[in-house]
Every structure is written in structure tokens, then in C-alpha cells.
Structure 1
Amino acid sequence: MSRTTRPRKGAAHGDSRPAQAARPSPPTAETVTPDGPRYLYGIVRDTAPLDVGRIGLGIVPAQVYAVSEAGLAALVSVAPGRVVDPTRAHLLGHQRVTETLLREHTVIPVAFGTVMASEAQVRALLRTAQGELSGVLDALEGKVELGLKVLWHREHLAQRLVLEDAQLLRRDDEPEAEHERRLEAAVEDRAGRDMRALLEGLRPRAAAMREHPPVGERMLLNAAFLVERPRLEPFEEKVRSLAARSDTYTFRFTGPWAPYSFVDVHLGLRDEDASLP
């Protein structure tokens, strides 16, 4: 069961101080160049100066800085263009920024490839959507996303069920096709019951849960959980205990991640529409 590194203990997660007056972005070589497209990584509360550094998009990582407005801070870098290709270097840069922010802040993550026309439009976004974005930050405060995927070998489970229940063996007078249909129904029923029991065991330990469509023939479950930081270890221990009870399924447990599965904010800017996932 795989697991990524969790945030360091004792990390701060932002606060709810009143909105502050807009202040200029930190003076960097890139922010004093003529204004142009800005790549948007995520949004946090504007509680303190953010020193992110050169960890953004590109083979040579771009300088990432905060644009502050209306008590919020958007983390941006100069965009390489209006469209950002999903190259490995760009994807890794986007991930580096969100993971860095997540260590000490509650983050509204933004979908990869979100480009704003200018820094001025970033500020307009923060002003226009300030109420909704602040509400989302309140809901996400001190929480992160954990992912759980469960895979199976259908034939392995079928063999297990036949060993457990002799009635699932093929009868002498039973056509092969009929036996296959009967066994398949038993396999599907058992897998469904096992996944429901798994989710019921984890649901009380999470603030929210989302199920995504399984990917590929072997995946039974593709779920995301919104978990409070102090409950990360108990949640992981519960997953491990459930996984240890069965050798029929393979568990892939990942995170913590920025809570992409639990953000649904449409920014609604004319001409340059953008949305959060």
C-alpha cells in the first residue's frame, strides 16, 4: 500500500483575520517586466508575506510570487503563453507549488493550465470572488485530501468464493455458460459488499468523501477523502487495518494532496473564463 510524505507536524494552516488592503507584489525581476499572462497555481489567505521562490513551471523553474487582494493571495508566475502544454516539466512545477503551499497553508488548488490574461485580472478575480473563495477556505481549513484506490483480480476472488461456498461449483447438469453467469453474479455481489463495508468503515473518519469513476478493468474503487490534519495518522491506521484483513484486494493509498476533489468554484470572468476544479 503506497503512501506519500505527509506535511510536517506543527505546520500552520492560515487564519481568519479580516481582509487587508491590497499591497503590491514582492519586487522580483519578473514582476517588473511588461504585464502579460500569469499562470495561476492556487489561492490562500493573505496572512503573511509568501516567499515561494523559483519552483514553478518549466525545465528552469519559474519564479512564483503572491498577488494579494481583498484578504486573499493568489500564487502565480509569468506564463509561458496563453496555453500551457502538459509537459512533464510543467506538470511537476505545478505540483511542486501546490505541495509547498500545502505544508503551511489551507489551499484552494487550481486546475493545471489555468492562465489569466494579466496580473490585473488576477486581482480582479480575487475581488470579484472574494466571498465565495473565503467561504471555500473556511470549509477547507486545516484539511487535506487523501486518495484510496482498490484493485482486484476477478479470477482470484472467484476462486476464493468457490473455496468458501461449494454451491458455487458447477453442477453436473449445469451448462458451462450458466455456471459462468452464476459465478460472475456472486463475484460482483461480493466485491460490491466489500467496497461498501470499506467505505462505511472510513466515512466517519473523514470530513467528506467523493467517489470518482474507476480507471481500468482492475480498479474497483477510486475514492477521495477530506481529512483534518490531526486525524491523518488515525485514518491511515484504519486503512492499513482494513487492508490487512484481505489478500484479495490491492490498496493504493496516497496523499496528502491539495483538496482538488472538494473544490467546485466557477470564477465567471468574462472573456477570460477560468474555473477551479
Structure 2
Amino acid sequence: MPRTTRPRKGAARGGKRAPQAARPPPPEPEPVTPDGPRYLYGIVRATAALELGRIGVGTVPTQVYALHESGLAALVSEAPGRVVDPTRAHLLGHQRVTEHLLREHTVLPAAFGTVLASEAQVRDLLRTAHDALAGVLEALEGKVELGLKVLWHREHLVQRLLLEDAQLARRDDEPEAEHEQRLASAVEDRAGRDMRALLEGLRPRAVALREHPPVGERMLLNAAFLVERTGLESFEEKVRSLAARSDTYAFRFTGPWAPYSFVDVRLGPRDEDAVGT
């Protein structure tokens, strides 16, 4: 029996190939004009061209590019307006850019929502604050930020302390209110000592530490660490080791991030005095 074959998918019967629709050319990026407000993501040390593509803030992600002055590069895009609201699209755009930069550069990040009037004002910032910006970038060279949040269930710690220390039990002649106050004091003292011990265990592996106010009732610690890239693995191992020792606390470890907690960029009339660590 003669063997039969099916025509290839996409080919016409009779040996003729079906005509293929022409593919539309990729869309050309919209031209960026030098006038109008510019959204600033951060500053790096670079002389080569940097084009990050359409990943910036905006409901439709904007084109992100670099403005260069004397070895510094400011990453900018057209701003959606003079004021940029912290919507999900805008926050994700800002984060995408800084994460992209962080792969290959030390980043001096600008705060979310930093908008300058024009490209000319961005270049003026790079010129007038050049030494301060370069100094901060040198101090941050090879370093990133890691975040650590520690949460607790208060009642879990209460029960643990009652098991560990029989003297914390309510005495027969002790009013309930006094016992609750004594127990609360013991719980607060223990949680404080545990957090201080945690920070002391991590401090030697970090260049710097910043403590932020806890958010919500369950958060005990909200800390940021400036860490050498070469020490990331060691730092993470230490966090895992400390977390494994306790079932009383929950650890939330994030990063690496651009070092927002360790720089202060305030754009104003005297930009040369507007940058610090």
C-alpha cells in the first residue's frame, strides 16, 4: 500500500505554500523631547550610553534614558506630571528601573515622586552637586540594602514565658490587673532583649544599620542593612540561622535593594548641599 503524507501545517494542498501575511514592523519608540518635567530614578557613575527601554513610570511605561555630565548619569523619563501619585503602575515602574540599574551599577536612588522641571534642570543638578553626588556613590560602591522585618504573636510569647518561668504565674493573692501588668512588662522586656540580640548578631556583617518605626501591632523590628555585595551570602545565612532558632517570631527578609535608607537626596535651591549619607 502506497504511503500517504499529510501536507505540512501552513502549506496548501498541491504543493503550493499558503501565502503568509506580512509581519508589521516593530513600533518605533516615541521621540523624547528635552522640554517638560522629568522623572528622576537615580544617579550612577557611567559614561557610556544607557537606554533601559520603556520600563518607567506611567500607566503606559515610559522610555527611560540617561543624561550624562562629568562621569555621572541621571536616569530619567518623561514625567506623567509635576506630581506623580503613588499608584501601583507608578510604583512598579520606579521599582523596575532601580532593580534594572542595580544589576550592574552602584545606585544613588532618588525618592519616589522626584520630578524636575526639565532636562536642563537635571543636568544642572549633576553639575552643581557633582562632588557631593560622586562622594556618596563612592561611599556606596559595591553595596546594597537588605530589609528585615520581624513579627510576633504576642500570646505565643506570653505562653512561652509562662512555661519558662514559674514566677510569672499569677499568685494567689495577686489581683488580676497587677498580674497582667507584670506579665506584660516581662513580655516587652523579653521581646526587646531578643531584638537587640538579633541586631547584634547581624551588625558585624553589615556596613551600616538603620532602624525604621515598626508598622502595625505585630511588627517588632523594621530594619535596613547596608551590605557589601560580596557579603550577601554570609548575611543571608546568618539571618536563616537566627530565624531557625525561634518559633516565636516570623522573619521577613527582602532585597537586595538600592540603598534608599542610607542616602538623603533633597533637591532644592542649593543642590551642592542637598546630598548626604
TM range (shorter): 0.7 to 0.9
What is the rounded CA distance, in whole Å, between the counterparts of 2:55 and 2:275 in structure 1? 23
How far off its partner does 1:267 sit?
Answer: 3.2
Alignment-derived partner of residue 54 in structure 1: 54
The code of the aligned residue for 2:235 comes to: F
Say whether the 8 Å CA contact 2:65–2:77 is kept in structure 1: yes
Point out the structure with max Rg over C-alpha.
Answer: 2
Say whether the 8 Å CA contact 1:209–1:226 is kept in structure 2: yes
Deviations 1:68-108 (A, max 9, x none): 01211000011121111211111110110000000000001
Say whether the 8 Å CA contact 2:144–2:227 is kept in structure 1: yes
Instruction: Select the structure with the greater relative contact order (CA < 8 A; seq sep ≥ 6).
Output: 1
* Equivalences for residues 131-146 of structure 1 within 5 A: 131-146=131-146
Deviations 1:126-158 (A, max 9, x none): 001101000100110000000000001111101
How far off its partner does 1:265 sit?
Answer: 3.1
How far off its partner does 1:65 sit?
Answer: 0.4
Alignment-derived partner of residue 18 in structure 2: none
How far off its partner does 1:166 sit?
Answer: 0.5
Say whether the 8 Å CA contact 2:111–2:265 is kept in structure 1: no
TM superposition score normalised by structure 1: 0.86
Deviations 1:28-85 (A, max 9, x none): 7433x36111111110012322121111012321000000012110000111211112
What is the rounded CA distance, in whole Å, between the counterparts of 1:140 and 1:248 in structure 2? 35
Say whether the 8 Å CA contact 1:42–1:110 is kept in structure 2: yes
Q: How many corresponding residue pairs? A: 248
**Alignment of 1:69 onto 2:62:** no
Deviations 1:169-193 (A, max 9, x none): 0011110011001111110110011
Unaligned runs of 5+ in 1: 1-27
Alignment-derived partner of residue 31 in structure 2: 30
Say whether the 8 Å CA contact 2:145–2:260 is kept in structure 1: yes
Say whether the 8 Å CA contact 2:34–2:119 is kept in structure 1: no
What is the rounded CA distance, in whole Å, between the counterparts of 1:239 and 1:87 in structure 2? 32
Structure 2 counterpart SS, 1:226 = strand
**Alignment of 1:170 onto 2:170:** yes
Alignment-derived partner of residue 252 in structure 2: 252
Alignment-derived partner of residue 156 in structure 2: 156
* Equivalences for residues 252-271 of structure 1 within 5 A: 252-269=252-269
CA RMSD of aligned residues (A): 1.9
Structure 2 counterpart SS, 1:253 = strand
Structure 2 counterpart SS, 1:170 = coil
**Alignment of 1:192 onto 2:192:** yes
Say whether the 8 Å CA contact 2:146–2:226 is kept in structure 1: yes
